[in-house]
Chain A
Amino acid sequence: GDSVTQMEGPVTLSEEAFLTINCTYTATGYPSLFWYVQYPGEGLQLLLKATKADDKGSNKGFEATYRKETTSFHLEKGSVQVSDSAVYFCALSSQAAGNKLTFGGGTRVLVKP
């Protein structure tokens, strides 16, 4: 079945540091890929998505590129802020699996001033 693997956290960074969270996936067919973010005490919200190979999703300074050859969708941000402290989830959705979202285990990011 479909699966998503992302690096375990917590990831602790200083403000203005570069952030990378690795995500790789296994899926049947051609899935859509997502990054969701969960701020403390809140529900998840979409950060960015990509629906086909080589697409780049971007939002709020975050970027991720759909790499079919390496089955990856790594999240990057060039200069993090304290307000980026959250749990980040990589996810995929494939038609073959009924279009349900399959999530990775989440990566907690803590940005210190």
Chain B
Amino acid sequence: DTAVSQTPKYLVTQMGNDKSIKCEQNLGHDTMYWYKQDSKKFLKIMFSYNNKELIINETVPNRFSPKSPDKAHLNLHINSLELGDSAVYFCASSQTGGGADTQYFGPGTRLTVL
């Protein structure tokens, strides 16, 4: 009964490839997020969706495209992967997206681009 799940857990691929990471939450939350954690553990938000609508879109290359087919799912597709995309990507969800909301994080997907 995992609250926020991500697949795959590990992803190793070559430069230039296209890959996707999937995220699902079973908490009934309205808002979902993608974060990137670099090798120094620094965390930065990439996107957020509220009820399938894009709310936050930070300065992320347009090679990254999130898709939310329904409010329980938020997938991340990355085109033309680059070495600098290597990181751990975390999905998260929160009840409403309000400032005081607790965000619940998935276990992360470690992406390695060779």
Which residues of A are interface residues toward B (Cβ below 8 A)?
31-32, 34, 36, 38, 42-46, 49, 51, 87, 89, 93-95, 98-103, 105-106, 108
Contact = CB atoms under 8 A, between A and B. Distances in A.
B106 A98 contact: no
Chain A binding surface, main DSSP class: strand
Interface string B36-48: 0000111111001
Interface of B: 4, 33, 40-45, 48, 55-56, 58, 90, 92, 97-108
B97 A105 contact: no
A49 B41 CA distance: 21
A38 B101 CA distance: 18
Nearest to A91: B43
A71 to B, nearest CB: 16
24 contacts: A31-B99, A38-B41, A42-B108, A43-B107, A43-B108, A44-B105, A45-B105, A46-B102, A46-B103, A46-B104, A87-B41, A93-B99, A93-B100, A93-B101, A94-B99, A98-B55, A99-B97, A100-B58, A101-B33, A101-B103, A103-B42, A103-B44, A105-B42, A108-B41
